[in-house]
């Protein structure tokens, strides 16, 4: 049976304010609070709330048949906490249905997987803990920022304990292969790869409201007919997009939500199911390894990382940022850590892009890529000065490496202790259950013995009474 894996990404850009060279060293606040509040409130009202309410109603109307998946960046969750908490509450309602899975991704929605392995793992762990806190799920499947993936990233995901990972069904990687199969990482065969169907995903997220598109208007029955017509052996169809596609990229006036409401009924009529990524990883077998030596993503025609690291400005900013990554870890200052998360966000690098793209790019306050670069580097300059004030740049590499080794060892020890605590808790719970069973059995045995004793006593008394009566009667006869 064919199954659709429907996934939505939720991330919110944290807008930087205009920060000039003369602000360096005098002002350490980098954000445009007014713009951040305005944009998140707007997207929550026009997209997130109506879209999530529709998805919740689809689950209620279709029972356990309809399933959907989300991932939220940590900085996105922070923005929602501050400006649109109703979105978090609606997602929690969805989580309670049992038909929703939440995935792991980097907390910062940044490029740490390309810059610093230790920070990437820390970034993902931090976001996973946030997902557990809010939605009661420990993510089993990873989704990297913008579906960025290569063999080395897959190996890191496996080492972190993930069962699967989402990425792009890019033509230059697949060649003649189809994105409708389950694959596995070339360096870690146990890590399964779920691929996005580019055409079917973009039909909704990019083309749905385009009146010049040759398939316009797109109806749910015709969309499901395209999926049903795929070869029988092609079982997994990954439909991945940003949640903002429902309401922002495709306005609500386009009837995008009505289209979604009709999907489960049309799918059921054609024998097509819905599954979460974990269910796909559990039920389906990989058909082959997928060799991805160079990083791919879901951005632009090239499906690579040139959107963020395609010109010298972007690479200089990226290198300068991650050059202080280890010092940020050692400093471990709450304010520094928060700024670090926001400065890592991939959109900061995208604003510097000089590429032509089919997807609209709103540069906000920036007049050009160079303007974006200049503003970011001013902020980064101040940030690095603050990091160096906490942990000076003059400290030699040997001492730095020693501290990093200590931190890493402490982290491993804490992880081992956490596992031991979990094991002991499970053992205590097991012993308590066994104790409850023994007490219950003992109580039943005691009750049975008391009943038997009572019956024996009653019988004895009765026998004594009868004997006494006979004796009395015998005396009277005499």
- Decide if pLDDT at 396 tops 70: no
The confidence band for 181, taking pLDDT boundaries of 50, 70 and 90, is very high
Q: What is the maximal distance between C-alpha atoms in the chain?
A: 132
Range scoring the smallest mean pLDDT among 71-75, 288-292, 381-385, 439-443: 439-443
Question: pLDDT by residue (tens digit) across 119-163?
Answer: 899 999 999 999 999 999 999 999 999 999 999 999 999 999 999
Rounded distance between C-alpha atoms, residue 70 and residue 164, angstroms: 15
The confidence band for 477, taking pLDDT boundaries of 50, 70 and 90, is very low
The confidence band for 422, taking pLDDT boundaries of 50, 70 and 90, is low
- Decide if pLDDT at 447 tops 90: no
Supply φ then ψ for residue 239, to 5 degrees.
-105, 100
Give the pLDDT score at 428.
79
Give the pLDDT score at 430.
75
- The structure's pTM equals 0.82
- Decide if pLDDT at 394 tops 70: no
- Decide if pLDDT at 475 tops 50: no
DSSP run (H or E) holding 82: helix 74-83
What would the mean pLDDT of 382-409 be, rounded to a whole number?
Answer: 71
239 touches 200 (CB < 8 A): yes
Give the pLDDT score at 466.
46
239 touches 276 (CB < 8 A): no
9 touches 71 (CB < 8 A): yes
Give the pLDDT score at 167.
97
Residues of the chain with pLDDT > 70, as a percent, come to 86
- Decide if pLDDT at 87 tops 70: yes
Rounded distance between C-alpha atoms, residue 379 and residue 30, angstroms: 7
How are beta strands 250-251 and 246-247 bridged, if at all? parallel
The confidence band for 395, taking pLDDT boundaries of 50, 70 and 90, is low
- Decide if pLDDT at 266 tops 70: yes
The confidence band for 452, taking pLDDT boundaries of 50, 70 and 90, is low
Give the pLDDT score at 429.
75
Query: DSSP 3-state assignment of 17?
Result: coil
- Decide if pLDDT at 262 tops 80: yes
The CB density around residue 431, as the number of other CB atoms within 10 Å, is: 10
CB within 8 Å of 202: residues ≥ 6 apart: none
Give the pLDDT score at 441.
74
212 touches 186 (CB < 8 A): no
Range scoring the smallest mean pLDDT among 51-65, 209-223, 420-434: 420-434
Would the CA dihedral through 395, 399, 400, 401 be positive or negative?
Answer: positive
- Decide if pLDDT at 174 tops 90: yes
Beta-bridge partners for 9: 71, 242
119 touches 329 (CB < 8 A): yes
105 touches 143 (CB < 8 A): yes
CA 378 to chain centre: 32
Give the pLDDT score at 432.
78
What would the mean pLDDT of 438-458 be, rounded to a whole number?
Answer: 67
- Decide if pLDDT at 223 tops 70: yes
- Decide if pLDDT at 245 tops 80: yes
Give the pLDDT score at 455.
60
Residues of the chain with pLDDT > 90, as a percent, come to 74
- Decide if pLDDT at 97 tops 60: yes
373 touches 353 (CB < 8 A): no
Give the pLDDT score at 454.
61
Residue, of 439 and 36, whose pLDDT is higher: 36
What would the mean pLDDT of 242-265 be, rounded to a whole number?
Answer: 96
Query: At which residue do the structure tokens 């008394």 appear?
Result: 461
130 touches 80 (CB < 8 A): no
Q: Which of 190-194, 356-360, 425-429 has the highest mean pLDDT?
A: 190-194
């Amino acid at each position: 049976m064919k199954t659709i894996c429907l996934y939505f990404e939720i991330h919110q850009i944290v807008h930087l304010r205009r920060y000039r060279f003369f602000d360096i060293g005098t002002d350490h606040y980098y954000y445009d609070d007014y713009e951040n509040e305005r944009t998140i409130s707007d997207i929550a009202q026009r997209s997130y709330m109506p879209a999530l309410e529709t998805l919740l109603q689809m689950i209620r109307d279709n029972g356990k048949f309809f399933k959907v998946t989300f991932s939220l960046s940590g900085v996105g969750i922070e923005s929602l906490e501050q400006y649109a908490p109703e979105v978090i509450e609606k997602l929690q309602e969805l989580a309670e249905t049992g038909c929703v899975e939440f995935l792991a991704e980097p907390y910062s929605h940044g490029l740490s997987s390309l810059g610093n392995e230790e920070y990437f793992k820390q970034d993902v762990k931090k976001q996973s803990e946030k997902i557990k806190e809010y939605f009661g799920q420990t993510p089993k499947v990873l989704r990297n920022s913008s579906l960025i993936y290569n063999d080395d990233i897959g190996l890191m995901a496996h080492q972190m304990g993930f069962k699967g990972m989402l990425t792009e069904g890019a033509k230059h990687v697949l060649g003649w292969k189809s994105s409708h199969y389950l694959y596995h990482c070339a360096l870690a065969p146990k890590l399964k790869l779920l691929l996005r169907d580019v055409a079917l995903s973009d039909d909704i997220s990019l083309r749905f409201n385009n009146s010049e598109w040759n398939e316009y208007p797109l109806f749910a029955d015709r969309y499901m007919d395209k999926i049903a017509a795929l070869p029988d052996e092609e079982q997994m169809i990954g439909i991945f997009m940003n949640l903002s596609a429902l309401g922002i990229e495709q306005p609500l006036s386009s009837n995008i939500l009505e289209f979604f409401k009709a999907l489960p009924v049309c799918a059921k009529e054609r024998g097509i199911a819905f599954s979460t990524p974990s269910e796909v990883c559990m039920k389906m077998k990989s058909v082959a390894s997928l060799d991805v030596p160079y990083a791919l993503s879901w951005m632009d025609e090239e499906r690579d990382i040139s959107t963020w690291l395609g010109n010298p400005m972007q690479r200089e900013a990226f290198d300068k940022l991650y050059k202080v990554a280890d010092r940020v870890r050692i400093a471990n200052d709450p304010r520094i850590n928060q700024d670090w998360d926001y400065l890592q966000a991939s959109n900061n690098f995208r604003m510097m892009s000089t590429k032509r793209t089919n997807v609209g790019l709103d540069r906000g306050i920036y007049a050009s890529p160079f303007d974006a670069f200049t503003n970011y580097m001013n902020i980064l300059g101040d940030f690095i000065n603050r990091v160096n004030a906490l942990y000076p740049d003059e400290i030699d590499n040997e001492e730095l490496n020693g501290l990093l080794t200590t931190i890493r060892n402490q982290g491993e020890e804490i992880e081992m202790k956490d596992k031991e605590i979990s094991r002991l808790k499970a053992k205590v719970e097991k012993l308590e259950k066994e104790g409850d069973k023994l007490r219950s059995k003992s109580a039943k045995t005691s009750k049975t013995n008391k009943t038997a004793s009572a019956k024996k006593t009653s019988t004895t008394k009765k026998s004594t009474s009868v004997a006494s009566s006979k004796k009395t009667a015998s005396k009277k006869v005499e």
